[in-house]
Each structure stands twice: as C-alpha cells, then as structure tokens.
Structure 1
Amino acid sequence: MARTPPRYLEIQQYILSRIQHGDWPTGHRIPAEERLAEDFNVSRMTANKAIRELVQRGYLTRQPGAGTFVTERKAESSLVEVHNIAEEVRGRGHHYTNRVLQLEAIDASEDVALQLGMRHGSKVFHSLIVHLENETPIQLEERYVNPRHVPGYLDIDFTTITPHQVLIEAWPITDIEHIVEAVLVDTATAQELSIPTSAPCLRMTRRTWSHDQLISYALLTHPGERYKLRSAWRDTH
C-alpha cells in the first residue's frame, strides 16, 4: 500500500508550482504561514517546515517584519560529479543557449601541455563557449582537447550539442579532478559574462580521464553572484 506523502510536501509542491509557472516571480511575497496552514488544513508548524526547507534550498528568503519572498536562484553545479550544463539549465525549467566564440587548433602552451600530459607545442583543439540561462551568461567554458581522442572535435556544431556531450559519448568519464578558486577576470571575459571587472567570479579547473586516458582540460568561469557549487557526502558505513 502506497504511503501518503507528508503534508508539508504538498505545500512545497504548491509553492514550487506557482514559482515555476511564473505566477510568483522573483520578489513576490508568498502567503503567510497562518494562511497556508488554513488553506491546507494543517498546523502552523507544518507550514513552517515547508517554508523553512524551501528557504534552505534557496527558493525563498525571509525578511523579518516583512514576510517571505521568492528569491532569484543561483545556477548550481556539483563538485563531485560532471553534468551537462544544458541539461542542468533545462532541469531548472529554464531556457538554455550558448555562443561559440572560438573553435580552433592551436599549439599547446607550456601550461596546457602540462595539464594534458602532452609535449609543449603539440597541436590541441581549443574551444571557447559562453553558456546562457534565460539569455544571461552563467559560464565561460574554455576547453582544451587532445586531438588523438576526438579527431572530429573541430567539425562539431556546438550550438546544438555541448562539448561535454561529445566527450562523454566518445570517452565515458571515469575520473575527474576539480580545483576551485575565487578570481577577478580580465576585460574580455567580463564582457562575455556581462559583468564588471570588479565582480568576483568562481573558476573551476577541471581535468577528465577515461580510464588511463587524459581526455580534456577545461577552465570554467562563473559570475559569483549567479552561480554556486555544491558538494554532498554520505557515510555508507
């Protein structure tokens, strides 16, 4: 026999539905706990639990003396997994697009060669793409790929498929390395991300392997005010 879900989840689903359908835009004040408790015929404690969890998850914000309001959620990626950014955006119910700025074969600099385990000056494929969520830039992806592993990389239309999709189909990821740091960006990067040069950014350096093959090296730069990185750990013992 199926278990009836807790009543507070019913309230959460109602609130999330109104947000996702645009009925309650960013800044909208939601009904007070007392009103929600009355409408759903539950205790105020149950209504409080529903709201408190949505505040913790970043959908709502409380303003003492004023009420609870819909907040603008930051885009979010996992630190321990690699996901397709297009799917992440669409999974939030938003519109994904990108701009391909560069797609070329270049001579590997000393740093790129070191990161990819290649000789300095070897040919590498280089792509520079801005990813947008609802027409707002959320990531500048600069990626270097070993041509030996994906020889057709430069022929791909990256307006219809992301580099992540291409690489995962050719070489399933078995290992990843992430390094995250706070940075200020140069003028060109700031322009592509539609931010001032004084705005703090998060930069993730990512290397991916497929078994013993080092496939790609990427620099992923996100405006700090629009993005957050998440990590979770569970003790299985």
Structure 2
Amino acid sequence: MQPRYVHIKTKLLDAIETGAMKPGEQVPSENQLAQLHGVSRMTARRALSEMVDEGILMRSQGLGTFVSDHRPMSSMLEIKSIRDEIEHRGHAYTNQIRLLERTFANADIAQRLAIPVGSDVFHSIIVHCENALPIQFEDRWVNPQWIPDYLEKDFTAQTANYYLNQVAPLSQADHSVEAVLVSPEVAKALLIQSNAPCLKVTRRTFTGIKASDNPSANNVVSHAVLYHPGSRYRLGGHLEF
C-alpha cells in the first residue's frame, strides 16, 4: 500500500494531467487536503512540498499553492547546455544529428562570425529531445579558427554548446528571442504543425581568450538559431534588486 502522501500526489497529478486542474489554478490547502483524504496536516504538507520542489506546483506567499505552467523553462539570464537543463529536471536527454558539414560562409554568416565571405565554416543541425520528444532544433555555425576539430566530435555524448565552452570559454553573448512560424523542415523535425508558434532564440557567442596559434583571430565563436515549440517550452528567470 502506497504512503498516504504519495496517494495525495497521485490524485493531484491525475487532476492536472486530465485537465481537471489547469495551470494557474489554486489547489486545495493543507487543511482541505488533510480533511479530504483523512490524513494529518503534516502528511498533506509533505505532498504539496514535494510537488513544489518538483516544479509541478508553485507557492505564492500569503495567497496559496497553484498549478505551475508545466512547460520546461530555460533561463534568459545564463547560457546552459540543453542536456544539463533536461537532466536537471530528472528527464532523459537524447538527440538527433541532422547535419555536420564544412561549408563556405555566405554574406550573412560571414557578418555574424566576423570573417570574410567565402571563408570555411562548420555547420551543424541537431535536434534535442526530452523524454524522446523534440524540444529544440539547433542550427549552429561555428568559426573553425576556434574549434578546428568540431566536425570530429561525438555530439551524442556531449552537446555542441558544452564542448565549445570547454575549448573556448564564453565571455559574452548577443541574445534575442522572438515568436515565429517555422519552415516545414523545422516543423517536421520538432513534430509540430507548420502553423504552430515557436520560440526562436538567436545567439552569438564570444570568447575572452586569445588563439595562441592565430593571434589575429576574432573572438566570435559561433552563431546559433534555436527553435522551440511554444507549447513545450518557455523562457524566464529570477531577478533580485
């Protein structure tokens, strides 16, 4: 027989997953749950506290406990590996390597990487999955001056962002977010309808170190465009003043 606090958690989870309780809706108080399930207030508190810790519920001081927006949230204030984000939530990370190639920089990519038009660049497309469901389509262009062996790396074992930060530690980033409709190729890879809204994160990263073998190299490491299904992902963060 399962512990009583687990029984309460199961009932609340069932209500959330079936839509009977929706994001932002207030859940019963500790006293109400204790009376409803015939348990002590301490048992009810444990059930609620664990669900808050797991991100399923959120507490608002003086107001009560509410159902969280269940979409995973990525920080806008720091750059993390998508794998670290997913595994931090206790979920399984996998990816699909769609493209790894050496090509030539067109005018747009050359400008973003601060290199001459026609220069060699590395191009990768990787789809990142959480519990086997696509959550990010990563289209990345890398400056070979910094990562000459980029195409030789096994990105099923570590993400491109993680490896780039190990070789050329990031010091700055240009970062923008917008809502978009994506191309049929991206929609198909993310398993969404072509008219489904996505979050597009455009990010250019810089390193603060100097290339020992090429002192004239600029400090732009990569330019990446990251697409996330709007129904599965959100961006946010906590600020203190």
Choose the corresponding residue for 2:33, options 20, 29, 35.
35
CA distance in 1, matches of 2:172, 2:133: 31
CA distance in 1, matches of 2:34, 2:175: 43
Q: Is structure 2 residue 92 aligned with structure 1 residue 86?
A: no
Which residue of structure 2 aligns with residue 165 of structure 1? Answer: 162
CA-CA distance at 1:18 after TM superposition: 4.7
Choose the corresponding residue for 1:156, options 153, 175, 179.
153
Q: Which amino acid in 2 is paired with 1:231?
A: G
Choose the corresponding residue for 1:203, options 185, 200, 203.
200
Gaps of 5+ in 2: 22-26, 59-64, 210-218
Which residue of structure 2 aligns with residue 216 of structure 1? Answer: 222
Which residue of structure 2 aligns with residue 185 of structure 1? Answer: 182
CA distance in 1, matches of 2:233, 2:121: 29
RMSD: 3.2
Contact 1:24 1:70 in 2 (8 A): no
Which residue of structure 1 aligns with residue 118 of structure 2? Answer: 121
CA-CA distance at 1:120 after TM superposition: 1.1
Q: Which amino acid in 1 is paired with 2:17?
A: G
Q: Which amino acid in 1 is paired with 2:177?
A: V
CA-CA distance at 1:32 after TM superposition: 3.8
Which residue of structure 2 aligns with residue 101 of structure 1? Answer: 98
Alignment partner of 1:86: what SS? helix
Alignment partner of 1:166: what SS? helix
Alignment partner of 1:164: what SS? helix
Which residue of structure 2 aligns with residue 9 of structure 1? Answer: none
CA distance in 2, matches of 1:69, 1:205: 32
Question: TM (normalized to structure 2)?
Answer: 0.75
Which residue of structure 2 aligns with residue 145 of structure 1? Answer: 142
CA distance in 1, matches of 2:28, 2:9: 15
Give the direction of change, closer, same or farther, for the CA distance of 1:96–1:72 in structure 2 (3 Å limit). farther
**Identity percentage over the alignment?**
38
Contact 1:126 1:145 in 2 (8 A): yes
Contact 1:27 1:71 in 2 (8 A): no
Alignment partner of 2:17: what SS? coil
Which residue of structure 1 aligns with residue 61 of structure 2? Answer: none
Which residue of structure 2 aligns with residue 5 of structure 1? Answer: none
Contact 1:74 1:228 in 2 (8 A): yes
Q: Which amino acid in 2 is paired with 1:144?
A: W
Give the direction of change, closer, same or farther, for the CA distance of 1:78–1:128 in structure 2 (3 Å limit). same
Gaps of 5+ in 1: 1-13, 62-67
Which residue of structure 1 aligns with residue 62 of structure 2? Answer: none
Aligned residues, how many? 206
Contact 1:193 1:223 in 2 (8 A): yes
CA-CA distance at 1:80 after TM superposition: 1.3
CA distance in 2, matches of 1:148, 1:101: 23
CA-CA distance at 1:70 after TM superposition: 6.5
Contact 1:205 1:219 in 2 (8 A): yes
Which residue of structure 2 aligns with residue 176 of structure 1? Answer: 173
Q: Which amino acid in 2 is paired with 1:158?
A: F
